[in-house]
């Protein structure tokens, strides 16, 4: 690997970081087993081919790329895969810079001037720290503008081999999605989409946000003893995406519900944060490798 794509190793675990591709991870392996989808080309600048990319300063879709905040109308550019809606903020669409690198820890940084695509200036940092048992991932967002900024954070990992995968976690509430992919109402999860006792991913078609989660989420595969346990104490919501047309699936720990800027529910429901000037928020995630 090069300085532009630093690699970390610890025991049997190996992680490659791709700052140039939206501040992404390019791969995460335990021995020969891919714990996240492996980028086919780590030199690519396309985050949609990577293992995991950051979500900031918002998560999911913003309806029609518009919202109103503190008396101001905000317009955001649509993303081609979600048009006419904005998608996942701009962190994943920017080149990040290496701030620090070592054999087991890498920090990358991004600054936005508040001009193009998001009308607030901010600074963002991601730190990836690997040990023999797993990967710690922290994301920090700081408001550098002179006015309050609404925001949220998350991570978008892609997990491979959907046909042989299973997932277990206590996710008691689900946001139903409209035909245009926006959350409508929050309801108690029904048995067919309840992961409490574990479920196979293959038969499921989901693109939904879950709320009220308690404890970690476990992901495993039939063809390997290795798995991942996702911990995220600040992530009050989890987006689960299981497209039938692809062999990957996504389990995204997030602090905020998609389209929270336009919802009527309060922050206690949506997770919406408002950062004052110079205020910061952090999301700490742990990808614990099981079966070692």
pLDDT tens string 253-265: 999 999 999 999 9
Question: Tokens 């952090």 belong to which residue?
Answer: 282
End-to-end CA distance of the chain: 25
Closest residue by Cα to residue 55 from 264, 278, 266, 232: 232
Token pair, residue 80, equals 């081609």
SS3 content of the chain, % helix, strand, coil (to 5): 10, 50, 45
User: What distance in Å separates the CA atoms of residue 216 and residue 214, rounded to the nearest whole number?
Assistant: 7
pLDDT tens string 108-149: 999 999 999 999 999 999 999 999 999 999 999 999 999 999
Domains of the chain, CATH where assigned:
7-290 (2.70.98.10)
User: What distance in Å separates the CA atoms of residue 238 and residue 236, rounded to the nearest whole number?
Assistant: 7
3-state secondary structure of 133: coil
Q: Are strands 122-131 and 105-112 parallel, antiparallel or unpaired?
A: antiparallel
pLDDT tens string 158-185: 999 999 999 999 999 999 998 888 999 9
DSSP structural state of residue 190? P
160: left (phi over 0), alpha (psi -120 to 50) or beta: beta
DSSP structural state of residue 201? S
Burial 158-181 (b: 16+ CB within 10 A, else e): bbbbbeebbbbbbbeebbebeeeb
Question: pTM above the 0.75 mark?
Answer: yes
Q: Are 197 and 168 in contact (CB under 8 A)?
A: yes
User: What distance in Å separates the CA atoms of residue 177 and residue 31, rounded to the nearest whole number?
Assistant: 38
Indicate if the pLDDT at residue 1 is higher than 70. no
């Amino acid at each position: 690997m090069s300085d532009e794509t630093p690699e970390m190793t610890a025991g049997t675990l190996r992680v490659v970081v791709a700052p140039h591709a939206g501040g992404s991870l390019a791969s995460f392996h335990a021995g020969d087993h891919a714990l996240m989808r492996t980028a086919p080309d780590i030199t690519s600048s396309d985050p949609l081919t990577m293992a995991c990319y950051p979500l900031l300063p918002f998560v999911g879709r913003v309806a029609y790329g518009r919202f109103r905040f503190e008396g101001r109308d905000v317009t955001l550019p649509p993303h081609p895969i979600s048009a006419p809606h904005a998608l996942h903020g701009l962190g994943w669409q920017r080149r990040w810079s290496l701030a620090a690198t070592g054999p087991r820890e890498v920090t990358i940084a991004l600054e936005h001037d508040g001009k193009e695509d998001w009308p607030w200036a901010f600074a963002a940092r991601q730190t990836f720290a690997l040990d023999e048992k797993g990967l710690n991932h922290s994301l920090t967002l700081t408001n550098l503008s002179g006015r309050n900024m609404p925001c949220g954070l998350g991570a978008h990992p892609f997990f491979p081999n959907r046909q042989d995968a299973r997932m277990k976690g206590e996710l008691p509430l689900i946001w139903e999605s409209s035909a245009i992919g926006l959350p409508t109402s929050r309801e108690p999860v029904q048995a067919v989409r309840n992961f409490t006792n574990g479920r196979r991913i293959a038969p499921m078609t989901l693109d939904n946000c879950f709320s009220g989660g308690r404890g970690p989420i476990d992901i495993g595969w039939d063809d390997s003893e290795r798995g991942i346990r996702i911990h995220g104490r600040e992530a009050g919501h989890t987006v689960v995406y299981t497209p039938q047309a692809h062999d990957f699936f996504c389990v995204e720990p997030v602090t905020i519900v998609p389209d929270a800027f336009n919802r009527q529910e309060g922050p206690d429901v949506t997770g919406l944060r408002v950062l004052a000037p110079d205020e910061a928020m952090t999301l700490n995630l742990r990808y614990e490798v099981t079966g070692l």
